[in-house]
Amino acid sequence: MKTIQEKIKERRTQLGLSLEDVAQALGVNKSTVMRYESKSIEKMPINIIPPLAKILQCSPEYLMGWEETIDKESSAYQVSTQTLPILGSVACGEPIYCEENRESYVLKGTEIKADFCLRAQGDSMINARINDGDIVFIRKQDIVNNGEIAVVIIDDSATLKRFYYYKEKNMVILKPENPKYEDIILTGEALDNVRVLGKAVAFQSDVE
């Protein structure tokens, strides 16, 4: 499977574009485009992918390695995509106030069955490969299975954790994926102020 760097260089070459052509279109230096193609850049910002894909006449999903089909007659990449709103941030640590504002939108492939996104904040889910700043795709549902990663509202605050419900004990345990954090244990009347907002079904990190 080709890396994103290999795909960028391949598409640029196929289109007969120089490094200077791509750099000028992106509004960056030639050396930056060279780093995009040579893996020497530590992280490629997600927001550079859509304009770069437009310049290279392909889809963002193609560059990022998502599923795509190719129209062989036109040599165009045909991908079914949708946009989802990013509704603020969700805590990967202590719960934070749940912001219901649409801060921006993100493209997704239609194979990802999600209703909206949240931006992860904190490091409590790093062992689940969800890092600070990642975009988490959420499918809206009020029930999840034990062990699934869910966005949980506690009073007016939101947190992203593995969810466990023990009916016989009238207890909910929210488990982080980082040993430096303790479980959040909710029992009795505290459960009256707890609800599941949705299940985490995918996440998107900065492309390295």
- Which residue among the candidates 74, 124, 157, 205 is catalytic per the annotation? 124
Nearest alpha-carbon partner for 25 in 63, 61, 53:
53
User: Is 124 a known active-site residue?
Assistant: yes
Q: Enumerate the β-bridge partners of residue 152.
A: 159, 196
CA angle 54, 56, 59 (to 5 degrees): 55
User: Is 140 a known active-site residue?
Assistant: no
Domains, the chain: 4-78 (1.10.260.40), 82-204 (2.10.109.10)
- Which residue among the candidates 140, 161, 169, 199 is catalytic per the annotation? 161
Distances (CA, A) of 206 to 114, 144, 160: 19, 28, 19
Mean pLDDT value across residues 109-121: 75
Query: How high is the mean pLDDT of the chain?
Result: 78
pTM: 0.55
**Residue 202: predicted pLDDT:** 83
Nearest alpha-carbon partner for 201 in 88, 131, 113:
113
Question: Which of 83-87, 144-148, 154-158 has the highest average model confidence (pLDDT)?
Answer: 144-148
